[in-house]
Amino acid sequence: MSLSKQLLFLISALFLIIFSLNFALSVNNIKGYLEGEAKIHAQDTATSLGLSLSSYMVNETDPVIETTMNALFDMGYYQEIKLVNVERQALVTLTNKAELEGVPAWFIALLPMQTASAESEISAGWSIAGVVSVTLNPGYAYLKLYEQVVSSFYYSLIALLLSIALLLLVLRITLAPLKKINLMALEIANGHFTTINQLPWTTEVRNVTASMNKMSRKVETAIKALNTKLDGVAKKLQQDELTGLSKKTVFLTDMKQMFATDTEAFIGLIKIDGLSSLTKELDEDAIDQFIKDFAEVLSHLSTKSDQGDISVYRFFGAEFALIIREVNLEQVAQIGLALSSAFAAIGERYHKPDIVHIGLTPFNPIASIESMLLAANEAYEQAQLIGANGYYVRSGDDQAKDIAQWKELVFDVVDQRRYQTDFIGQIDDLLTGSVLMQEAFTRVSDAQGETVAIGTFISIAEKFAKIVDLDKGVTEKVLAYLKSEQIEHALAINLSTRTIKNPDFRAWLLMQLKSNKAIAPQLVFSLSAYAVGKEVSVYKEFIDFVHKNHARVMIKRFEAQSMSSEVLKSLHPDFIRLSRDMSNGLTLDQGKQAFVETMQGIGELLDIVIFAENVQTDEDFNCLKRIAIAGASR
């Protein structure tokens, strides 16, 4: 029962008691007053009647006596007036029936009143002539009392109702801030650090509100501090210190994402061949400056180029890489040429006519990262053959045939449902060792029974819009598995951006979640951090939809550069699985440790469970335990 209801009942009960007592006392007082007045009335009547009759009492039979008594009696106030002589023999007796009209019988039974009567001795000259006794008609007093009680009852009732109404109003005003504080606490729990600006006037509630405001601000400051720390750690992990370009790890993540989403792109490999001879001529600072100048050209290209979207990476020392998206062969050749001339200009400044060679190769969704880098290297070697600061672009003609075969396989497998769903990547609770989550993994075999590279399969499915059917099929299999196997832990399902945006899938999923309410909390939709970061608003809408239907969400492959804690706060996923790169070599890398610790801190504040993936060594595993990460897969 709410506090306001408890207070309302308690105070209303007190009011009722006070009003009832007051009512009872006032009724009793009225009754006492009326009885007293009646007594005086009776005595006065007896005395004055005695005085009036005394001069006629010499003759007991004088008709004036009865006439005088009748005149008084007929006024109606009296039930009986009786005159007796000195021997107590009745001379005149006048009686009325005690009729009590307008007063209910229960009232008379409940509040019996004493019948007022009095007597007075009558003297005739020196002698005592008799006694006159007067009894009042109680009807009049009863009627007065009844009227008083009724009006007093209604006034008390009105006063009681008004008091309760006033009380209700005061309670509502006084307790309204408590509701606000509750909402505020919920907001804070959800990561929105609001404050209540208008402090309530009740001292205790005002103090609580002020404390809550203080706490909200402190938590917000803590989050901001963690965010700043995260940014610093992310920079260290992702950026080359000298040039400010992204490191190779970022290149690998971007490449993986390109496999997952169908992207037209070229991969470039740039090596400063002249660096080794320069190091012999220049000191360390000059070399650093040279590399900075070189990187500047690439950075300039990535920000200024109107041809496609260019990302630049420094692998190590003299080796750089490019990912050029949304361009054709011709445009890439132009970029190659522009770079070649820019590098030649730098070379001239250092009196080195031949310092760099650039190899460019088209992105192949059915190849591996290694083979792509190998192809880029081949192009680089071709560029070396072309001449000073040369560039070479490979054509992608040889890929077309392979893709056609892949398309056929993908359509066949998805339409015929010739894929298997395994459950892998078991995440265990680091404290208890119990299973927390498994991930649904799709396995596909080709016509020869050979296992197909799933990354390429997904990439092709995405390219030809088959991914939605595949995701739907996998979700169905997971639901069926959950229903048949009676497992307690959660199962993660990977969904692609295309699937998430698909309205048919959304409608279908809603139906599935509604008809499987009991197991919905065990379903965890796993979303790649890279994809989420690209389209935050789309994913936020999806995450809200999932939460509304009691299922849960995990952001996987979470890296330092994935998203800020502000974005995380707005998305509010249930789980974050850090990328395997973040836990591998954790023990030896202070930067990675700082990142994982910060993520754990943010997770605790925002109520997000943090997992690690594919932990290799026991040292790293123990390190994660020390940081108090909730769970990890080995």
Partner 1 sequence: MLLIRRFSVWLLSLFALLAVFSVPAQLDFSAELLAKIQSKYGQEAYSRVKQWQELMLTAKQLPEQEKLLKVNDFFNRHIEFADDIYIWDVNDYWATPLEMLIKGAGDCEDYSIAKYFTLKELGVSEGKMRITYVKALKLNQAHMVLTYFSTPRVVPVVLDNLIAEIKPATQRTDLLPVYSFNGSGLWLAKSRGSGKRVGESTRLNMWTELKERMLNNTI
Q: Which residues bind partner 1 (CB under 8 A)?
A: 50-51, 54, 86-87, 121, 123, 125-128
**Smallest distance from partner 1 to CB 84, Å:** 12
Nearest distance from C-beta of residue 117 to partner 1, angstroms: 14
Residue number, 51 or 588, with CB nearest to partner 1:
51
Amino acid making up residue 187: E
The distance of closest approach from Cβ of residue 124 to partner 1 in the complex, given in angstroms and rounded to an integer, is: 9
**Smallest separation (angstroms) from partner 1 to the CB of 123:** 4
- The DSSP secondary-structure symbol of 550 reads T
Tell me the closest approach of the beta carbon of residue 125 to partner 1, in angstroms: 5
CA distance 576 to 555: 5
Nearest to 366 by CA among 269, 462, 491: 462
Cβ nearer to partner 1, comparing 125 with 387: 125
- Between the two ends of the chain, the Cα-to-Cα distance in Å is 49
Q: What share of the chain is helix, strand, coil (3-state, %, to 5)?
A: 55, 20, 25
Q: Which is nearer to partner 1, 57 or 295 (CB)?
A: 57
Residues in Cβ contact with 289 at an 8 Å cutoff, skipping those fewer than 6 apart: none
Q: What's the min distance (Å) between Cβ of 126 and partner 1?
A: 4
What are the residues facing 299 on neighbouring strands?
Answer: none
Nearer to partner 1, 59 or 127 (CB): 127
Q: Which of 602, 596, 589 is nearest to 247 (CA)?
A: 589
Say which DSSP state 537 is in: H
CB of 59 to partner 1, least distance (A): 15
Q: How many residues does the chain have?
A: 634
Secondary structure of 343-380 in HEC code, one letter for each residue = HHHHHHHCCCCCCEEEEEEECCCCCCHHHHHHHHHHHH
Task: Of 512, 511, 522, give the one whose Cα is nearest residue 551.
Answer: 522
Q: CA angle at residue 202 from 196 to 207, to 5 degrees?
A: 55
Of 559, 566, 569, 492, nearest to 531 (Cα)?
559
Q: Write the burial class of residue 562 (CB in 10 Å: 0-12 exposed, 13-18 middle, 19+ buried).
A: buried
SS3 state at 274: coil
Euclidean distance between CA atoms 76 and 528, whole angstroms: 102
- Kindly state the smallest distance separating residue 25's Cβ from partner 1, in Å: 19
Give the β-pairing of 552-558 and 575-578: parallel
In this complex, which beta carbon is closest to partner 1, that of residue 51 or of residue 161? 51
Nearer CB in complex with partner 1: 87/330: 87
CB of 173 to partner 1, least distance (A): 50
- Comparing CB distances to partner 1, the nearer of 53 and 267 is 53
Comparing C-alpha atoms, which of 185, 176, 194, 83 is closest to residue 130? 83
Q: How far is the CB of 56 from partner 1 (least distance, A)?
A: 14
Q: Would you tell me how many other CB atoms lie within 10 Å of the CB of residue 118?
A: 19
Nearer to partner 1, 123 or 195 (CB): 123
| Cβ 92 vs Cβ 65: under 8 Å | yes
Q: Closest distance between partner 1 and the C-beta of residue 205, in Å? A: 53
Instruction: Give min distance, CB of 22 to partner 1, in A.
Output: 24
What are the backbone angles phi and psi of residue 310, rounded to the nearest 5°? Answer: -110, 125
Which residues partner with 265 through β-bridges?
Answer: 325
Buried b (16+ CB within 10 A) or exposed e, 263-281: bebbbbbbbbbbbeebeee
Phi and psi dihedrals of 418, rounded to 5? -90, 45
Helix axes 400-416, 467-485, angle to 10 degrees: 40
What's phi and psi for 391, nearest 5 deg?
-135, 155
The CB-of-72 to partner 1 minimum distance in angstroms stands at 18
60/429 with CB nearer partner 1: 60
Nearer to partner 1, 46 or 295 (CB): 46
184 contacts 212 by C-beta, under 8 angstroms: yes
Residue whose CB is less far from partner 1, 53 or 335: 53
Nearer to partner 1, 88 or 304 (CB): 88
Token pair 């499987």 is at which residue? 516
Least gap, CB of 75 to partner 1 (angstroms):
23
Between 83 and 297, name the residue whose CB sits nearer to partner 1: 83
Q: Which 3-state string (H, E, C) describes 82-133?
A: EEEECCCCEEEEEECCCCCCCCCHHHHHHCCCCCCEEEEEEEECCEEEEEEE
Of the pair 35, 231, the CB lying nearest partner 1 is at 35
Distance CA 600, CA 608 (A): 9
**Residue 221 CB-density burial (10 A; 0-12 exposed, 13-18 middle, 19+ buried):** exposed
Choose between 118 and 366: whose C-beta lies nearer to partner 1: 118
Dihedral sign, CA of 240, 243, 248, 250? positive
Q: Please, what is the Cα angle at 291 between 286 and 295, to 5 degrees?
A: 145
Q: 93 or 127, CB closer to partner 1?
A: 127
| Nearest distance, CB of residue 128 and partner 1, angstroms | 6
Q: Provide, rounded to whole angstroms, the least separation between the CB of residue 28 and partner 1.
A: 16
